[in-house]
Amino acid sequence: MQRNFFTALFVFLAVTFGPHDLFAQLKKVRLSVPSLGTNSMLFGLATDQGFFREEGLEVEQINMRGSLGVKALIGGDVGYSAASGSIITAALRGINVKLVSILSPVPVFRMIAQKEIKSIKDLKGKTVALSSRGGTIDHLTRIMLEKNGVAPEKEVTLVVVGGQQTIWNAIRADRVAAALINLPGYLILGKEGFADLGAARDYFAYHPTGGLGVSDEKIAKDRGEVVAFIKATLKARRLYLNNREAGIKALLKHGGLTDESLASATYEDYRQVLSPDGLADEKWMKKAMDFILKVTDTREQISPDQVFDFSLSREAIAQLK
């Protein structure tokens, strides 16, 4: 009788908590994310749904700028970074990191301006905010200005303001005329009445917004862990793409949103650009590399396999089938 009781208890615990809870301590890993928003939301969704736990992982998210995230990655202070642009830039400069998955294959930014500004041409003689010099937003801003006949630096003053939240506040305080704003920021400012001058992806569509970067050392030593991490995020992608309610709930909890109507609009916008598998073809990789090479004024011929390693994502996809 007693033996049957303990057998039944064991089966109950195994079904309720799963093998990792019973037999293995979860491995704690750190992930750096450059800002609060849709990308951090997806990792939060994976945590809430137990997808990381199913893979034996406990993930701590740490907010830090992309360049700092890469330094933390190389130093071993974090195991993963979601700053895709900074990862590509570092890899092109010979630093031993790889982008192993992308979240969105296009830049998810829109040019948001003061309410009286009707077009990008109206920015002549005004100030436009950047998060940093020589980065993704800097270069995308210049592309949008130039293609609308506005000369950066000569006809527009470009100033470094800081991260996205700081830029939002600079626009609200009328300290700058315009800036490239990420999702959900452009929806938030749009609801406040600020002008929308267009999407960056309509000018250049080969740059990722978010992804997963790791060091070469991590791939060599902990390949199984990296694949497990990717598997958890793939599960979160699938849930987000197929379950509107779960996606909106995750945006309200992890995406910096408190307004349900904004969360609903953000869900729809992000659903249109979220990659279901995190993969990219060779054309996309070369275009993304060319973009960063131009940003950094580098003329070297570099192979995509020095920057990207999507074999881990393919391995994760195969394990989920």
pLDDT (average), residues 153-176: 93
Q: How many CA atoms lie within 13 A of 210 on its CB side?
A: 24
The answer to whether 240 and 271 have CB atoms below 8 angstroms apart is: yes
Calpha distance 113→121 (Å, rounded): 12
| DSSP class per residue in 50-88 | THHHHTTEEEEEEE--HHHHHHHHHHTS-SEE--HHHHH
Determine phi and psi for 175, rounding to 5 degrees. -80, -25
Which pLDDT does position 13 carry in this prediction?
Answer: 52
SS3 239: helix
Rg of the chain over Cα atoms, rounded to whole angstroms, equals 21
Which pLDDT does position 11 carry in this prediction?
Answer: 47
- Mean pLDDT of the chain, nearest integer: 90
- Please report which confidence band the pLDDT of residue 20 belongs to, taking 50, 70 and 90 as the band edges: very low
Q: pLDDT tens digits for 202-225?
A: 999 999 999 999 999 999 999 999
| Tokens found for residue 181 | 């704003």
Residue in the block written with tokens 């970074």:
81
Q: pLDDT tens digits for 44-71?
A: 999 999 999 999 999 999 988 888 889 9
Q: pLDDT tens digits for 124-146?
A: 999 999 987 777 788 899 999 99
Give the full edge-to-edge strand order of the sheet including 178-182: 157-160, 127-130, 178-182, 109-113, 195-199
pLDDT of residue 295 exceeding 80, the answer is: no
Calpha distance 239→225 (Å, rounded): 21
